[in-house]
Amino acid sequence: MRILTVFVFLMLSCIPNLHGQSLEVISPNGVISLTFTLDGGRPIYQVERFGNQVIKSSQLGLMLNNNIDFTQGFNILSVERNSIDEWWTQVWGEKKEIRNHCQELVVHLNKPDFPHQKMVLVFRVFNDGVGFRYLIPKQKSIKQFEIVNEVTEFVLPENHRAWWIPAYEGNRYEFLYRNTTVTEMPKVHTPVTFESSDGLFLSIHEAALVDYASMTLAPQSDYTLKADLVPWADGVLVKGQAPMKTPWRTVQIAENAGELITSYLTLNLNEPNRLEETGWIQPGKYVGIWWEMHLGVSTWGSGDTHGATTANTKRYLDFAGKYGFDGVLVEGWNLGWDGDWYQNRNDFSFTTPYADYDISALHRYAKDKGVRLIGHHETATGVLNYEKQLGSAYKYAKKHGMRAVKTGYVGHGQCVDHPNDQGDTVKEWHHGQFMVRHYQRTVEEAAKHQIMLDIHEPIKDTGLRRTWPNLMTREGARGQEYNAWGPNGGNPPDHTTILPFTRMLSGPFDFTPGIFDLLFDEAKPNNRVNTTLMKQLALYVVIYSPLQMAADLPVNYESRRDAFQFIIDVPADWADTQVLHARIGDYVTIVRKDRHAEDWYLGSVTDENGRLLNTSLHFLDRNRKYVAQIYRDGDRADWKTRPYDYVIEERLVDSATVLQIRLAPGGGQAIRFYPATDDEIMRLGFFE
């Protein structure tokens, strides 16, 4: 279906008193409404659902340098109303076909006292929420400018419960989520998720973040959240020139928490794919020389314990080829890791391997195995050093058969060095406009060389993977590595029951699941993975990434070959996603359909408490029997005392079946459903 667009221009000359009018736009299903008003020249919006306030009257506007005030003194110059209804296909993703269906209101504003000062507001209202953005059109009075304040507000009707991580802290996005009331929040990163007293769920975020500062939220009085943009070192928020469009500010609205996960509002607010040819963009699974460094078994730097050697890489390539993995990530292969690599970050070379890493021979060896090397570019926030090498680094990677590169920006607080206009070295945040520009530059340069990116220490996802589908996945939260060396013994059991409703609303997450040696008493005696083994399998469905790692050492998979089969089978690209159970911080059950087969996969995880979840299999095709390969916690399993107690079993099911999923404390369950043959129906049906 194509876009249906209806333009209605309301000119000030033909509609009197438009200055004080309210303009309403309603979602296609008639449930959500957004009202725009000029209140004494101040732009105001509010959002309702079934007539109940979701966002109370909230101010809009921008403050520019040179005393240009785009927060008041406006008249409405003209209005457009558009209806958008289209289906589009993701190159890869958690759902293949996505409907973009919304009503749009475009409001052109000018200032009678300064007739050459104009601003445009664009609102889109979907069945699952709203998005709005600012446009500063080309105009005589404004060419280059600086944004010194964005006054965008989100005024909540009550003191909602919220799940959040702090902004402006040293460790970027890598924190455990806290659950408090709004009034107890500091400045927070988005997406931030809320639950009202009557059970409505909201998530505030942004879409299409390009050449602008990342938005955080600053709590004010009366349950008001204000946009707080991450500044440059000189305090300026955004440096731009007209015409300019800001990112979309988004509010997702859902009756239950699971509907947040299956909302594609953020993607729909991004521009369509810009890449003409995408056959080289291929989701898949990989293993790598990575976890052994976090355990301290080997090192990134050269020497006797160097991990990235030719011999060690060949062992991983053998393993990947044997079990059908697409790639092998190799960290620590390039010059620059010796000594204090963070302080010496400008010494990294992305085209020079260590002497014990024969990259040309490994490229040939990988090709013979049907596997590709995955590059690794750790910058340690030596951004200018990396930018000087971008073209040559990606060309080098492609020459050696790599279609994916994992980048890294390890650093804390304001740590990105670069010269300002006066030539002095200043330090920037990871999430200000300077770094937003850098991350975008890497994605576009990588696309020129047909390279997919997996970004660690990234800017948050805002749906740009629709426009640049080589932007595959990223970190941007506390991942698996915290279980190896993190404080307090690693991630607590509820961590992965919160992520799908918070961080993962922004996009794919390279969490690196699949650790089978959960205790590692010798390597890291004060840490462990705080899950059962079956929960590690379930995470391959619960935590989505198109590049999905089997993170543990090959020997640990070989020792539990029966459980490893699920990781071998589970795909990384999906036709459909549904949420069957959802309670933030407690449990979640997600099913996904293989894009290239008729199989479905289920992942269910819980916090530190055991659960019994009755699970309807209504998503399966009717009039067809399926084999359910069930990987479940054993009857005595417990993440603290018996994490390796598990059962693998098969049974015959169909769309009318209701399974009772039993989750041990800290546990999980993973199931593969595939169409049953006649022989399997006879064999398994005998035991029904």
pLDDT tens for each residue of 513-530: 999 999 998 889 999 999
What pLDDT, on a 0 to 100 scale, did the predictor assign at position 243? Answer: 96
How far, in whole angstroms, is CA 274 from its chain's centroid? 20
| pLDDT tens digits, 460-501 | 999 999 999 999 999 999 999 999 999 889 999 999 999 999
Q: Which of 416, 436, 438 is nearest to 427 (CA)?
A: 416
In the chain, the percentage of residues whose pLDDT exceeds 90 is 93
Helix axes 433-448, 383-399, angle to 10 degrees: 20
Q: Which two tokens stand for residue 395?
A: 């060309």
What pLDDT, on a 0 to 100 scale, did the predictor assign at position 13? Answer: 34
What pLDDT, on a 0 to 100 scale, did the predictor assign at position 298? Answer: 98
Q: Which two tokens stand for residue 57?
A: 């009257």
Banded model confidence at residue 636, pLDDT cuts 50, 70, 90: very high
Banded model confidence at residue 17, pLDDT cuts 50, 70, 90: very low
Mean pLDDT of 630-656: 98
Burial 529-545, CB ≥16 within 10 A → b, else e: bbbbbbbbbbbbbbbbb
C-alpha 326/C-alpha 367 separation (Å) is 11
Decide the pairing of beta strands 114-126 and 129-136. antiparallel
Mean pLDDT of 303-314: 98
On whether the CB atoms of residues 549 and 285 are closer than 8 A, the answer is yes
| pLDDT tens digits, 605-628 | 999 999 999 999 999 999 999 999
| pLDDT tens digits, 572-595 | 999 999 999 999 999 999 999 999
CA dihedral 348, 349, 352, 354 (to 10 degrees): 0
Amino acid identity, position 366:
A
CA geometry: angle at 127 spanning 123 and 128, to 5°?
A: 90
C-alpha 283/C-alpha 277 separation (Å) is 15
Model confidence, pTM: 0.96
Question: Would you say residue 419 has pLDDT above 90?
Answer: no
Cα end-to-end span (Å), the chain: 45
Q: What are the catalytic residues? A: 481
What pLDDT, on a 0 to 100 scale, did the predictor assign at position 686? Answer: 59
Domains and CATH numbers, the chain: 18-268 (2.70.98.10)
What pLDDT, on a 0 to 100 scale, did the predictor assign at position 46? Answer: 98
Burial 291-321, CB ≥16 within 10 A → b, else e: bbbbbeebbbbbeeebbbbbebbbebbebbb
**Helix, strand or coil, per DSSP, at residue 279:** coil
What pLDDT, on a 0 to 100 scale, did the predictor assign at position 512? Answer: 98
What pLDDT, on a 0 to 100 scale, did the predictor assign at position 9? Answer: 42
Q: In what order do the strands lie in the sheet with 144-150?
A: 68-70, 62-64, 144-150, 238-241
C-alpha 430/C-alpha 414 separation (Å) is 7
C-alpha 224/C-alpha 56 separation (Å) is 9
Amino acid identity, position 589:
T
Q: What is the mean pLDDT of the chain?
A: 95
Mean pLDDT of 276-293: 97
What pLDDT, on a 0 to 100 scale, did the predictor assign at position 421? Answer: 82
Mean pLDDT of 434-442: 98
263 phi/psi in degrees, rounded to 5: -90, 135
Question: Would you say residue 2 has pLDDT above 50?
Answer: no
Question: Would you say residue 327 has pLDDT above 80?
Answer: yes
In the chain, the percentage of residues whose pLDDT exceeds 70 is 97
| pLDDT tens digits, 61-91 | 999 999 999 999 999 999 999 999 999 999 9
